A and B are shown apart, each in its own frame.
Chain A
Amino acid sequence: MLAQVSDVVDACAGQAECVTSYSDFLRSWLTVGIFVALGFVMAGAMLGIAMVLRPSSNRRGRFQEQKFITYESGVDPVGWSWTQTQVRYYIFALLFVLFDVEAVFIFPWATRLEIYDLFGLIEMLIFIAILALGLVYAVRKKVLQWL
C-alpha cells in the first residue's frame, strides 16, 4: 500500500496541480489508515496482554466468587440496594426541578436580547420577579435551610 502511494506521487511529479491535490488527498487518508491500524494493534495488545496475565474466571475450572459481587475491589456491599434516603432531600430536588425548568424560557430570550429590546427586558424582569417571589417564599418558610 505504501509503495503504491509513492508510485502515484512519482507519476505526477511533473505536474504541479496533480501533485498537490491528488497526493495530499491520499496522504490524509493514509494518516487515517495508520490511526485505524494503530488503534486495532493497541486494543488487541491490551486485551491480549490482559488475557495472558489475569486469573481467569471460567477457564481451567477456577471459579472466582469475587467476580460476581457489585464492586470487585473496595468495600463489600452490605444489605439490599434499595435503601431509604432522607426525605428532606426531596424538597431540594423539587425546588431544583422547578427553577431549572423555568430557565427554558430565559434562554431563547437571551439569544435575541437586542431584538426584543426594552419590551423583552421588562417582560423578562417581570417573569424573573415572579420566580423570585417563589424563592423568597421558600427562604421564608425555611425549606432551604439544612437540617
Chain B
Amino acid sequence: MLAFVAPSIDYHAFAPELIVVAILAILVLVDCFTSDYDKSSQSSVAGFGLLLALIPVVTLAMDGTVRGMFGSPESGYAYVVDTYSLILKALFLVSGYVVVLLSQTYIAEGDYWEGEYYQLLLASILGMMVMASARDLVSIFVALELLSIPAYMLAAWRKRDLKSDEAGIKYYLMGVFASAVMLYGMSLIYGITGSTLLTEVAANLRQFPAGQVPPIVVLAVVFVLVGFGFKVSAVPFHTWAPDTYEGAPTPVTAFLAVASKAAGFVALMTLVFVAFPGNTSTIEPLMFALSAATMTVGNLIALRQTNIVRLLAYSGVAQAGYMLAPLAVYGVSGTVGLQAIIAYLLIYAAMNLGAFAVVITAARKTRSGEISSFGGLIQYAPSLAVLMCLFLFSLAGIPPLGGWFAKFAVFRALVGAETGWGYALAVLVGINSVIALFYYARVAKTMVMDPAPDGDLSPVRVPFSLRAALVITAMVTVAVGVLPGLVGHFTDSVTIGAALGS
C-alpha cells in the first residue's frame, strides 16, 4: 500500500476559484437570512465577488509562471494555471459581471426568484473557471456539469411561463444527452490509454502510427468532441439553441450565448490541443464538416427570423462556425489557430453581450422581441440605436469595429495553414460574412428607416446597471477594432501546456 501524500495546493493559483466559492457561500447565507421581499443585496454581492476574483487572475498573469497541481512534472498536471487558462478565466469573470449588470433590473422587476438566480449564475461561472484550468478527463466532466446544471435551471427561470419551461426542458434533454455521449467517449479513451490525464492520453495515443488508428480510437475521439459540439451549438446539434434562447429570460440568453458557448470552446480547445494533438486525420475532417455546416446553416436560417433574440441565436450559431474553422487546420496552424479562436471568443463576448444589452434595454419600453418593434428607435432613443448598429456591424465584421479583427485572426489561421481545406474554409467564411451582412443590416434599417409601430416616441429610461453594461461592451468593441494590437497583445502570448512537456 502506497503511503498517502497530501497534494500540495498552490493557494495563489486557486485564489480566483476560492473567492467565487466563498462569495457563493455568502450569497446562500445572505439569501437564507433576509426577507423574501428584499433581495437587492444579492446582485451587488455577486457582481462585487466577480470583480474581486479578477484581482488574483491579474496578479497570477503578472507573475507569469505556469503553475500545475495534482500531478508530477513527468506525467503532467490535472489542473494547470497558465496564460491560456488565465485569459479565459478573465473572460468568464468579466462576461459574468456584465450578465449580472444586465440581470439587475430585469430580474428584480420581473416575476423571478431573485436570490437563487445569482447563486446559480456564480456556480455556473465557477464551473467555467474550473474548465479553463482542467487538464484531466474527470475534471473536465465535472466542470462541464457544474457549468451546465445551473444553466438548465436558469433557462427555465421565468415563473409560470410555458415558454420558459419548454426552453429549460429542451436545453436539459439535449445537454444531458450530449454529456452522456461525451462521457461514453471518455470511458473509451480511458480504456484505450489507461489514463484520464490529458498529457498521458496524448502520449498513449501517439503510439498509433498515422493511417493505422484503430476505429475504436476514432469513435472515442468523435464522441467526446461531438458532446461539446452540442455545447457550442454546432450544426447539426444546434436545434436546442434558438428555442432555449427565445424562451429563457434574456439576460440568461446572453449568458448562454456568450459564456456557456465560450466554455464549450475552451473544452474543445483543451481536448484538441492537449489530448488529441496527433489525431489530425480524425479531427480535421470532422471539424471541417461541422464548421462549414454550422456557419452556412446558421446564416441561412437567420435570414428569415422575425424575432431579434432568435436572430441573435442563429447568428451565434453561425459565429460558432467561424470559431470552429481554425480547428479544421489545427495540425498545421497550431498555436496560431488557438490564438485566433481565443481572440474571436473575447471579441464575440463583448459585441454579443452588447447586442443583448440593447435588446434588454429597448424591451423595457417595447415589451417585445420582434424586430418590427425596433422601428423608430433612432427617433426616441438615438444613442441606443447607434449602439445597436455598432454591435450588429461588429458582428458582421465591418472593418473599424472589433468583429473585423476577430474575422481577420480566423482568416490568418486558415490561409496561413496553406492547405486546400484551409483555403476552402476561408472562402466559405467570406461568403457567409456577406450573407450575414444582410440580416444585420435589416435590423439596422428597421431601427433607422421604419416608424415606431405604435407611434409612441417617449424616451426609454436606462437604469444605471444597463448603462454600465452598454458602456463596457461598446468600449471593448470599438477599442479592439481601432487598436487590434490590444487583443493581439494578450492572445499572442497564449500557449497551452508548453512548459509542461506536452
Contacts and interface: CB of A to CB of B under 8 A. Distances in A.
> In the complex, is A directly touching B at CB under 8 Å?
yes
Interface of A: 112, 115-117, 119-120, 130, 133-134, 136-137, 140-141
B22 to A, nearest CB: 11
18 contacts: A112-B4, A115-B4, A116-B4, A116-B6, A117-B6, A119-B6, A120-B4, A130-B25, A133-B25, A133-B28, A134-B28, A136-B28, A136-B32, A137-B31, A137-B32, A140-B32, A140-B33, A141-B32
A136 B28 CA distance: 9
Nearest to A140: B32
B29 interface: yes
A119 B28 CA distance: 26
Nearest to A116: B4
Nearest to B1: A115
A117 B29 CA distance: 30
Contacts of B4: 112, 115-117, 120
B28 A137 contact: yes
A7 B386 CA distance: 111
Interface of B: 3-4, 6, 25, 28-29, 31-33
Nearest to A112: B4
Nearest to B33: A140
A130 B18 CA distance: 13
Contacts of B6: 116-117, 119-120
Contacts, number: 24
Given A117-B6, A137-B28, 6 more contacts: A115-B3, A116-B4, A133-B25, A136-B29, A136-B32, A137-B32
- The secondary structure that dominates the A interface is helix
B160 to A, nearest CB: 15
A116 B29 CA distance: 30
A141 B6 CA distance: 38
Nearest to B6: A119
Nearest to A118: B6
A131 B104 CA distance: 28
Nearest to A130: B25
A133 B29 CA distance: 8
A115 B2 CA distance: 10
A120 B6 CA distance: 8
A41 B450 CA distance: 96
Contacts of B3: 115
Contacts of A137: 28, 31-32
Contacts of A115: 3-4
A130 B4 CA distance: 25
A137 B6 CA distance: 32
A52 to B, nearest CB: 57
Contacts of A141: 32
A95 to B, nearest CB: 15
Contacts of A140: 32-33
The 3 closest A-B pairs by CB, nearest first: A119-B6, A140-B32, A115-B4
Contacts of A120: 4, 6
Nearest to B34: A140
Nearest to B32: A140
Nearest to A126: B21
A130 B146 CA distance: 15
Contacts of A133: 25, 28-29
A133 B27 CA distance: 11
A82 to B, nearest CB: 22
Nearest to A133: B28
Contacts of B29: 133, 136
Contacts of B28: 133-134, 136-137
A136 B25 CA distance: 11
A74 to B, nearest CB: 41
A117 B4 CA distance: 9
A140 B28 CA distance: 11
Contacts of A130: 25
A120 B5 CA distance: 11
Contacts of A119: 6
Nearest to B31: A137
A105 to B, nearest CB: 12
Contacts of B33: 140
B7 to A, nearest CB: 8
Nearest to A115: B4
Contacts of A117: 4, 6
Contacts of A134: 28
Nearest to A122: B6
